Structures are given as structure tokens and as C-alpha cells.
């Protein structure tokens, strides 16, 4: 009985201090997850981008709905960059990501802050504010991609 209690306490402790990578069973799962999160985020940003560029008519309600999705998605990719997720399936994450973690964290936080501003702009219903916010958010994406996203997917 005592042993059982000790064992379950150990399991609990390991759950509480679960490293982010352990949320994924295999590196492949983490890579797929972060790529999916980025893909969905970019898709919803793109829908508002099309309005900002005048390619589709501005629809304030749709812009605000899409911006809310961008904010949610902007929080997700980061846990999927745990140790050991540099390979397992084709990825464009550069190895420097795991060396410059403080800088990458900063870039990720800046992007999330721009996403929040973007949502506020979209909610305001003012197209000029939306245009400016799309531009600022796009710059925050690019700032990270320039240094940490490779042109091509790795072989595995």
C-alpha cells in the first residue's frame, strides 16, 4: 500500500513538472502540431490581409472573427519546439532556434503582442487601423522567419 502511494505521488509529480515536449508522443507529432498551428494562423491572417489590400470587400465582423482566431493560434506553436523536435519529419525550423531560445521567445512574444493589437484594430472596425495592424503583425512574423525559418523543408 505504502509503495502504491509513493508510486502515485511520483506519477503526479512527473505530471505537474511535465516538460512541454512530453505533451507530444513523438517529435513528429510536435512538428506536425506547430506547422498546423502556423498554417491555420496564417490562413486567418490572410483573410484579413486580403481585405486590407482591397482584394475582397472589408467586412468588419469577419475581420474581428478572424483576428480572434489569429490571437488564439498565436499562442500555440511554441510548446511544440521542445528539445529533440529538430527532426522526425520534414521541418523548416533552423537549428539556431534551440540555441537562441531567449531571442526566439522574445520574437514569439512580440508577435503575440502584435496579434492582440491586430484584434483590437479589427474590432474597432476602422479599415486604416486594420491595414496598419496587419502590416505590423506581418513584420513580427518576418522578423522570426528571416533568422529561424529555412527556405526549404529538411529531408526528415
How far, in Å, CA of 126 to CA of 60, rounded?
A: 8
Residues 34/82, Cβ–Cβ less than 8 Å: no
Closest contact distance (angstroms) between CB of 60 and ligand HEC is 20
Tell whether residue 92 is a contact of ligand HEC (CB under 6 A): yes
How far, in Å, CA of 52 to CA of 67, rounded?
A: 13
Complex with ligand HEC: residue 16 or 75, whichever CB lies closer = 75
Tell whether residue 44 is a contact of ligand HEC (CB under 6 A): no
Tell whether residue 87 is a contact of ligand HEC (CB under 6 A): no
Tell whether residue 31 is a contact of ligand HEC (CB under 6 A): yes
Long-range contacts of 105-110 (CB under 8 A, 24+ apart): 105/78, 107/140, 107/143, 107/144, 107/148, 108/77, 108/78, 108/144, 110/140, 110/143
Other C-beta atoms within 10 Å of 153: how many?
A: 12
Tell whether residue 141 is a contact of ligand HEC (CB under 6 A): yes
How far, in Å, CA of 74 to CA of 6, rounded?
A: 39
Binding segment toward ligand HEC, per CB under 6 A, in 19-27, 51-59, 101-109, 121-129: 101-109
Tell whether residue 24 is a contact of ligand HEC (CB under 6 A): no
What residues make contact with ligand HEC under the rule CB under 6 A? 31, 34-35, 38-39, 41-42, 45, 91-93, 97, 104, 107-108, 111, 137, 140-141, 144-145, 148-149
Amino acid at each position: 500500500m505504502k509503495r502504491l502511494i509513493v508510486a502515485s505521488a511520483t506519477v503526479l509529480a512527473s505530471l505537474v513538472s511535465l516538460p512541454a515536449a512530453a505533451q507530444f508522443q513523438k517529435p513528429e507529432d510536435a512538428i506536425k502540431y506547430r506547422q498546423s498551428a502556423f498554417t491555420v494562423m496564417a490562413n486567418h491572417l490572410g483573410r484579413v490581409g486580403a481585405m486590407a489590400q482591397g482584394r475582397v470587400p472589408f467586412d468588419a465582423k469577419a475581420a474581428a472573427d478572424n483576428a480572434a482566431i489569429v490571437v488564439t493560434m498565436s499562442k500555440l506553436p511554441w510548446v511544440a519546439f521542445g528539445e529533440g523536435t529538430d527532426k522526425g519529419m520534414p521541418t523548416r525550423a533552423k537549428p539556431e532556434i534551440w540555441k537562441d531560445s531567449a531571442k526566439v521567445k522574445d520574437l514569439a512574444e512580440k508577435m503575440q503582442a502584435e496579434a492582440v493589437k491586430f484584434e483590437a484594430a479589427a474590432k474597432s472596425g476602422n479599415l486604416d487601423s486594420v491595414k496598419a495592424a496587419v502590416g505590423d503583425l506581418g513584420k513580427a512574423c518576418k522578423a522570426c522567419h528571416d533568422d529561424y525559418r529555412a527556405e526549404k523543408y529538411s529531408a526528415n
